[in-house]
Amino acid sequence: MSALLEVRNLQTHFFRKKQAIPAVDGVDISIKKGETVALVGESGSGKSITSLSIMGLVPSPGGKIVGGEILFDGTDLTKLTESQLCKVRGNDISMIFQEPMTSLNPVLTIGEQITEVLMLHQKMSKTAAVKKAIEMLELVGFSRAAQIINDYPHRLSGGMRQRVMVAMAMSCNPKLLIADEPTTALDVTIQAQILDLMKDLSHKFDTSILLITHDLGVVSEIADRVVVMYCGQVVEEASVDDLFDEPLHPYTVGLMNSIPSIEADISRLESIQGNVPPPTNLPPGCRFAPRCPQAFDRCFNEVPTLEKKEGNRSVRCFLYEGKEA
């Protein structure tokens, strides 16, 4: 099956005082119809800038896509004008962010916000939009949807606001939903509810999801495939089962070892030594070498490439060079 989204060699840079900062440096991501792909990596690895690049929302001035292709349903989004992109954002790709309060307008009711989107992008009448808004709010679990539409965002809890965001994002029946840390700000029980809701809706409507998270526990719950990013690049890509059975890249292994589990003794939890280097000061050779427990001489001088391995997975590490996994 051909991919719904095919990001190829994406490069998004920030320009400051004539210096180019490679926030996203040659990223490939492929998402099939109905598939949920998780994008993971520590803070600063380029996850959000990758997703904002797909949406055509790179912070500007300063940020710019300088290379690569973003093929969505066969169209290269990097070649579209702002008004064409705006159409794609309203109809085909939706996004939800970490803190719904920043995306919801505090002076409009929940109903006004959902119907506004429907009337603008789906050209619905006011009556049809209100009906659809109530239907969407019921779908995301509000039993008093007809009342909720008259409420202002501040009247709702964080979890309820995030459910409103999911309702809003799904109301145009998008082909792709991009969720950037959608549950990080919520408590654990509510996180699970929102993830279940996203999973249900994606099955029901055959929506693909790009889920950005630094929580590998979340990934195992909901994703089909995982893309691991480090310093603006993909270092490993695999199905969830393969990745959890046998993580290959030493960075992925480090991330796995830092997942807290109920059985594990928290005091034994290992985290990866050192910090993510900023894109202004990348080490030569393998970008992970200064923190890698398995680094050897070559890693400090030569740059590993992302290589395809057996079983439809890829890894960027000299330990697996030329070897089948």
Ligand X SMILES: Nc1ncnc2c1ncn2[C@@H]1O[C@H](COP(=O)(O)OP(=O)(O)OP(=O)(O)O)[C@@H](O)[C@H]1O
Please state, in angstroms and rounded to a whole number, the distance separating the CA atoms of residues 54 and 58.
9
* CA dihedral over 127, 124, 36, 39, signed as positive or negative: negative
Cβ at position 103, least distance to ligand SF4 in Å: 37
Indicate which single residue of 72, 97, 142, 288 sits in contact with ligand SF4 (rule: CB under 6 A): 288
122 or 258: CB nearest ligand X: 258
Look at strands 208-213 and 176-180 and give their pairing. Answer: parallel
77 or 292: CB nearest ligand SF4: 292
Indicate which single residue of 319, 323, 324, 325 sits in contact with ligand SF4 (rule: CB under 6 A): 319
Q: Is 44 in contact with 24 (CB distance < 8 Å)? A: no
Q: Does 48 bind Mg ion (CB under 5 A)?
A: yes
Q: Which stretch binds Mg ion (CB under 5 A): 46-54, 67-75, 140-148, 290-298?
A: 46-54
How far, in Å, are 113, 162, 186 from residue 208 at the CA level?
24, 19, 23
Number of neighbours of residue 119 by Cβ within 10 angstroms: 16
286 contact, one of Mg ion, ligand X, ligand SF4, none, CB 5-8 Å limit per kind: ligand SF4
Q: Does 292 bind ligand SF4 (CB under 6 A)?
A: yes
Cβ at position 19, least distance to ligand SF4 in Å: 25
Indicate which single residue of 5, 223, 299, 313 sits in contact with ligand SF4 (rule: CB under 6 A): 299
14 or 288: CB nearest ligand SF4: 288
Residues near Mg ion, by CB under 5 A: 48
Residues near ligand SF4, by CB under 6 A: 249-250, 286, 288-289, 292, 294-295, 299, 304, 317-319
